[in-house]
Every structure is written in C-alpha cells, then in structure tokens.
Amino acid sequence: MTRKLTVAEVRAMKAKGEKITMLTAYDASSARMLEQAGIDMLLVGDSLGMVILGYDSTVPVTMDEMLHHAKAVRRGAPASLVVGDLPFMSYQVSIPEAIHNGGRFMKEAGCDAVKLEGGFEVCDTVRAMTAAGIPVVGHIGLTPQTAGLLGGYKVQGKDLESARRLLASAQALEKAGAFAVVLECVPAALAEAITQAIAIPTIGIGAGPGCDGQVLVTHDLLGMFDKFTPSFVKQYAHLAQQVKEAVGEYRREVKDGSYPDAAHSFPMQVSIAEVLREG
C-alpha cells in the first residue's frame, strides 16, 4: 500500500461492492506487516487489554495505554487508515470529554478515525464528534465493554425486539454521522439485512458473510492468543505452538552448549595470545 485509504473511499467501497478488510494492530512491527499485506484498515482495539496487557477484560484499559499503542501502530504503518478504539469511560461521561479523547487519538497518535461502542445512547456523541471533525466508526451487537449488561459474551439480536433495536441503532448511527459500523456477534441474516438497510459500510465480526467487510483480532487469526478462541474465528496459522516449540529448542541448545556455535559467533583478527601477551 503506497497511498492512505481515506474515509470517503471506505464509504465508496460499499457502493462498488468491494469487501473491506480490517484487522487489529497494537505495535509497529505487526502494523508494518499488515500494511504490507494490503489490509484496508487497522484497528488499535481495546482488545489489547486482554491479548497484550493481560487484563481479564477490556474494561481496565486507559486512554494513555491506547495512545501508547496507537502511536506505535502509526509509526509502523504510515500509509494505513488507522482507527483508535475509545476505551471504557473515555466517551460516556460527557460529550466534551468524548471530543477531547477522540481528538487525542488524532492529534497525539495520528489516527484517522475513532471507534466507540453503543447504539442510540451514543448518537448525540457521534454527532458532536463528527461535527468537530473526528470521523467515527460505530459498534453494535455484542459490545465487549458492557458485556455484563448483555448477559455475557453472547450473540445479540436473536429475538424480534432486539433484532429491530439493532437495525434501528445502525440507522441512527448512520444518521448521526458514523462512516461505518461494526456488527459483532449478530445472526448472519440480521447482519445482511442491516447491511442492505444503511448506506454506510458494515464490518462484521461473528456476523456472517453478508457484511461489507470483516474484522478480526489479529492474534486470534494467527493462533497467537491461546487462552480461548471465539467460535467465529478462522485460524489461518497456529503461531502460539510454533513459538513455544522454537523457544523450547533455543532453551535446550543453550542448556546443552550447542548454541551459539561457530557459525553464530564472531572471529577475531588477531590471536588471543597476542592479546594476553604483556607489553
């Protein structure tokens, strides 16, 4: 990728029927690889709290932690469209605080847009942020920051009332100015219906093939996070096991003295005898 994809171009991809690819990135080296692979959008997700920082959920993640990682992603992927994930309680307290924190992602970390969770309840915030010049991606369905209120990490929108609420939320987010919306853990038929009902792109995660694009946590896709794997994730590699095997082999070779060998050591240009000779 040599030229940064713009927000307007992301919206246009829906009209052209071109699928959108999005993956999470948390550091410069992985962001560089994703950019080189041609991924359209990089999400600095608050999922970093679990896969990078070792928290039990995304709730403890702070703005400072998010900015730290977002800056690294921008340095690693200067030509990518980078979206910063607003963490829990960084946008719920007040609209001015939401604008301030969204602005920090853009000013301090160089992000191109932000993402926040919620439907109707965040539409006024989305409207104010977009009016302030901050592009916003919505996020409905399973919202991890408030999963406890939803009965845990469960599929959302399975009954008539909740399905209609998700459809209406997507339409409200579009009207409020969001340029895309993530649909997480939503039945495939409902996600497809929402996709057809709104003009902005839908990006699915556990929402079937009918969305305009897809996003996954990169560590899940690569098999690097082995505490659990969501059922909707296809693992394209199993790197956790490969890393353990490689590190185990390194440990064995250091212990038995076979590493480093001559091939991995530097020769001298003079003899040790000359070095040790006095005078």
- In the chain the first and final C-alpha atoms are separated, in Å, by 60
Residue 109 has pLDDT above 90, yes or no: yes
Decide: residue 248, CB within 10 A, 0-12 exposed, 13-18 middle, 19+ buried.
exposed
Give the pLDDT score at 229. 85
| Domain spans, the chain | 7-241
Backbone angles phi, psi at 197, to 5 degrees: -85, -15
Give the pLDDT score at 1. 45
Residue 2 has pLDDT above 60, yes or no: no
**Topology of the domain covering 7-241:** TIM Barrel (3.20.20)
Segment 112-137, tens digit of pLDDT: 999 999 999 999 999 999 999 999 99
Considering 35, 174, 184, 192, which one is annotated as catalytic?
A: 184
Average pLDDT value for residue range 87-111: 98
Give the pLDDT score at 230. 86
Average pLDDT value for residue range 65-93: 97
For the chain, percent of residues with pLDDT exceeding 70: 96
**Cα gap 169→140, rounded to integer Å:** 8
Give the pLDDT score at 147. 63
Which helix (H) or strand (E) covers residue 7, if one does?
helix 7-16
**Cα gap 216→214, rounded to integer Å:** 7
Give me the residues paired with residue 136 across strands.
114
Segment 41-50, tens digit of pLDDT: 999 999 999 9
Segment 15-36, tens digit of pLDDT: 999 999 999 999 999 999 999 9
Average pLDDT value for residue range 220-243: 92
Residue 250 has pLDDT above 90, yes or no: yes
User: Quick check: helix, strand or coil at residue 205?
Assistant: strand
Average pLDDT value for residue range 75-83: 97
DSSP 37-94: TT-SEEEE-TTHHHHTS--SSSTT--HHHHHHHHHHHHHH-TTSEEEEEPPTTSSSS-
Radius of gyration of the chain (CA): 23
> How many whole angstroms from its chain centre is CA 41?
9
Helix axis angle for 95-107 and 63-76, nearest 10°, is 30
User: Quick check: helix, strand or coil at residue 201?
Assistant: coil
Distances (CA, A) of 240 to 23, 119, 216, 247, 278: 18, 36, 17, 11, 53
This prediction has a pTM of 0.93
Tokens of 198: 């709104």
Segment 169-203, tens digit of pLDDT: 999 999 999 999 999 999 999 999 999 999 999 99
8 Å CB contact between 84 and 109: yes
- Active site annotation includes 184: yes
Give the pLDDT score at 144. 85
Residue 255 has pLDDT above 70, yes or no: yes
